[in-house]
Amino acid sequence: MAHQPIDEFCSSLNPSVKKAVTDASVLSTQARAECLGRAYDDCGEKLRELANSIRLSDIYSNFETAVKSLESHGVRVLFASDAKDAREIILDIIREKEAKSVVKVKSMTTEEIELNPFLIKNGVETVETDLGELIIQIENEKPSHIVKPAIHRKRDDIARSFEKHGIGAYDEEPSHITLNARKYLRRKYFAADVVISGANYILAKEGAVVLATNEGNARFSMAGAKTHIAIAGFEKVVPSARELSVFLNLLARSATGQHSTIYTDFVRGVGGAKNSPLDMYVVFLDNGRSDILRGEFSEILKCMRCGACMNRCPVFRLVGGHAYRAVYPGPLGIVLSPLICKDGDYSDLPKACSLCGACAEVCPAKIPLPDLIVKMRDKMKREGARVPNDVNLKGWAFLASSPRLWRLAMRLNKLANFVPLSMVRFGPLGRWFKSRTLPKFKGGKFRKWFRKNG
């Protein structure tokens, strides 16, 4: 049986990393269930339905309203068709401001456009201010989870990494690691010219960018920098603060099992607060989103990037986010990555799913993830993508699509009971039977029963 790239990744994964990912995912799933259960008897079922119905409804008119409201508060609104366009727009602003250093607030959209390496290559010092993002940035890694980017790292190895990069002497006590990062980042906040953030939401009516963080780094970043650039897909627009309450009620509970993130910042134009940036830009990124909105995968744009689906996914728990290769991992990534990440081949990802349905049970936006994954498998097939195990299933497909052959096979399959499976020791089948056995074939009894009783 051919291995998929994700299997290869899993077999080479350090057991301690595997354990770190599994433990953290299980804990997050438990925390989500307890937190939502404490807040809502039905685990937020009605709220989830509401979230699904609000998101993307009237998106075009809400988007137009958002642009007008943002501009009325002195924000310059720009549009980027793809990742390259977005990177260049941001670099142009930085150059226009003659800025040398940037502090970043955690944003998956900036990961999607690979902003950090681009800015650094162009001579702009770029520092992540979220602790998890900082941990992976200094080691040139990519996030392995959309909420907890350093989920795969252990504290001793973070302490070693901090020592190596001059952030603090080796100390694996978590509060000391945090303190070292805090001291390091304070210097960066004061020196920064520009802050770049994503946007958890953009309020159309109020013209405000909403940022949810747990570390207060968004506020610190904005206190020092003179220019704020926020980048987001248009799907982040919600009608108003009234609807926002639905999403804020679900976001932190689904992501980390907290009733609310510690800080929720509403950034509404410039100059509203002491020391706030004097210029603000919002870059709306398309990068394939318009096509997705018009097509059969539009529901995926309702994602609120909480990570609950990956925490619950039995495949993600075993392999972690890097196994998915693209920026968005887990069930979300299986659908989204092939649609927006054009730099690689992700055609094998839809097979990295057992279709157990657990992701759909926890998704706060009630996105029918298993249905979308099946559709994505179909799309890959239609587009002729060759993925491992296709060949193995061809024989079965041939048999199953001919009723006459199938009936014959059902009668003959009793012979399989005489095959001594213990003799099958080598090759892929040997590996398979090491830990599995076959049920006794009964030779089409169900069909007989169904003809009589069905």
Quick one: 151 or 367, whose CB is closer to ligand SF4? 367
Type of residue found at 167: I
Which stretch in 14-22, 268-276, 306-314, 399-407 sits in contact with ligand SF4 by CB under 6 A? 306-314
Does the footprint of ligand SF4 cover residue 36 (CB under 6 A)? no
Query: Nearer Cβ to ligand SF4, position 188 or 302?
Result: 302
* The one-letter amino acid at 50: L
- Rank residues 259 and 411 by Cβ distance to ligand SF4 and give the closer one: 259
DSSP secondary structure string for all residues of 103-152:
EE---HHHHHTTHHHHHHHTT-EEEE-SHHHHHHHTTTPPPSSSS-TTTT
For 362-409, give the DSSP string.
Answer: H-TT---HHHHHHHHHHHHHHTT---TTHHHHHHHHHHHT-HHHHHHH
How many Cα neighbours within 13 Å face the side chain of 322?
A: 18
Number of residues that bind ligand SF4 (CB under 6 A): 13
d(CA 43, CA 428): 43
35 binds ligand SF4 (CB under 6 A): no
Q: Using CB under 6 A, pick the residue from 307, 329, 333, 370 that binds ligand SF4.
A: 307
Assigned token pair, 356 = 């157990």
Residue 145 engages ligand SF4 in binding (rule: CB under 6 A): no
Q: Using the minimum distance from each CB to ligand SF4, give the nearer residue, 112 or 193.
A: 112
Pick the binder of ligand SF4 from 115, 135, 363, 372 (CB under 6 A).
363
DSSP H helices, 41-107, are: 45-54, 59-72, 83-96
Q: List Cβ neighbours of 399 (8 Å cut-off, separation of 6 or more).
A: 405, 406, 409
CB nearer ligand SF4, residue 167 or residue 306: 306
Q: Of 48, 55, 305, 377, which lies in the binding site for ligand SF4, with binding defined by CB under 6 A?
A: 305
CB of 118 vs ligand SF4, minimal distance in Å: 25
Could you tell me which of 362, 303, 297, 280 has the C-alpha nearest to residue 335?
Answer: 297
Q: Is 358 in the site for ligand SF4 (CB under 6 A)?
A: no
Comparison of 83 and 255: residue with beta carbon closer to ligand SF4: 255
Q: Interface residues for ligand SF4 in 308-327 (CB under 6 A)?
A: 308-309
306 binds ligand SF4 (CB under 6 A): yes
Give 217: exposed, middle or buried? Use CB within 10 Å, 0-12, 13-18, 19+. Answer: buried
- Does 47 help bind ligand SF4 (rule: CB under 6 A)? no
State which residue, 128 or 235, has the beta carbon closest to ligand SF4.
235
- Give residue for tokens 């290559």: 121
304 binds ligand SF4 (CB under 6 A): yes
The strand pairing partners of 232, in sequence order, are 284
Segment near ligand SF4 (CB under 6 A), from 2-10, 117-125, 284-292, 358-366? 358-366
Under the rule (CB under 6 A), what is the footprint of ligand SF4? 303-309, 332, 362-365, 367
